[in-house]
A and B are shown apart, each in its own frame.
Chain A
Amino acid sequence: NAGVTQTPKFQVLKTGQSMTLQCAQDMNHNSMYWYRQDPGMGLRLIYYSASEGTTDKGEVPNGYNVSRLNKREFSLRLESAAPSQTSVYFCASSEDGGAGDTQYFGPGTRLTVL
């Protein structure tokens, strides 16, 4: 049981390049999330998917797109990377997104945009 897995672990991009961050969970969870973590700011939600086939914007969606490929996988795409997107990105999943639901986090992707 791997939980939530993310690839890659590290990535360096040049301004304007594109890339996709991959996330998969094996807990049969309905809800999945993408957060970014910046120093002194906690985690901020980029996008989430309440269930397969749906996606919604979070607090900081600009510059990102997402795809809920199936129940297991939720990818995050940067179409034209900017230095402001240098951050650590975490994917998470939860059973149904309800108020008391525990979110389970992946190990993170550290992205640097030059």
Chain B
Amino acid sequence: GNSVTQMEGPVTLSEEAFLTINCTYTATGYPSLFWYVQYPGEGLQLLLKATKADDKGSNKGFEATYRKETTSFHLEKGSVQVSDSAVYFCALHSGSARQLTFGSGTQLTVLP
């Protein structure tokens, strides 16, 4: 079946530090890959996505590249801000399963 393995947290960084959150997946077929973000007390919202191999998703300074050869979709940001403090979820969607499969989430705290 489908599964997503995400870097465990929590992760604490200083403002302007470089961020990487690792995500690897197992899936049948050719899944679409997503990063969702959950700010405190809110629901999840889409951060970025990629629907085929070698695609790069980007938004708000965050980037992730769909690497089929390593089954990975690592999230990166060059310079984090305090406002980036949130929980980040990697997820995949396989059309045959018609549902999102989520990783366990990574709590990021950015200190001023």
Q: Knowing A43-B89, A99-B31, A99-B93 are in contact, say whether A90-B43 is a contact too (CB < 8 A).
A: yes
Residue of chain A at shortest CB distance from B8: A40
The digit string for B20-34, where 1 denotes a CB below 8 A from any CB of A, is 000000000011101
Out of A40, A100, A105, A108, name the residue touching B93 (CB < 8 Å): A100
Out of A45, A48, A101, A105, name the residue touching B44 (CB < 8 Å): A105
Contacts of B31 in A (CB 8 A): 99
**Cα–Cα, bound, A97→B98 (Å):** 6
The residue among B43, B46, B93, B94 with the most chain A CB atoms within 10 A of its own CB is B43
Q: Knowing A41-B104, A98-B95, A99-B94 are in contact, say whether A4-B43 is a contact too (CB < 8 A).
A: yes
The answer to whether the Cβ of A53 comes within 8 Å of any Cβ in the partner chain is no
Interface majority SS (helix, strand, loop, mixed), chain B? strand
**Cα–Cα, bound, A41→B104 (Å):** 5
CB-CB contacts below 8 Å: B91-111 with A: 93-95, 98-100, 102-105
Number of A-B residue pairs, CB cutoff 8 Å, is 61
What total of chain A residues lie within 8 Å of the partner, measured CB to CB? 28
Interface magnitude class on chain B: 20 to 34
Asked if A48 contacts B105 (CB within 8 A), the reply is: no
Contacts of A104 in B (CB 8 A): 45-46
Contacts of B99 in A (CB 8 A): 33, 45, 48, 58-59
Asked if A99 contacts B43 (CB within 8 A), the reply is: no
Contacts of A43 in B (CB 8 A): 44, 89, 100, 102
**Cα–Cα, bound, A102→B50 (Å):** 11
Give me 10 other A-B pairs in contact (C-beta within 8 A), A43-B102, A99-B93 excluded. Answer: A42-B102, A45-B100, A56-B98, A90-B43, A97-B98, A99-B32, A100-B49, A102-B34, A106-B43, A107-B41
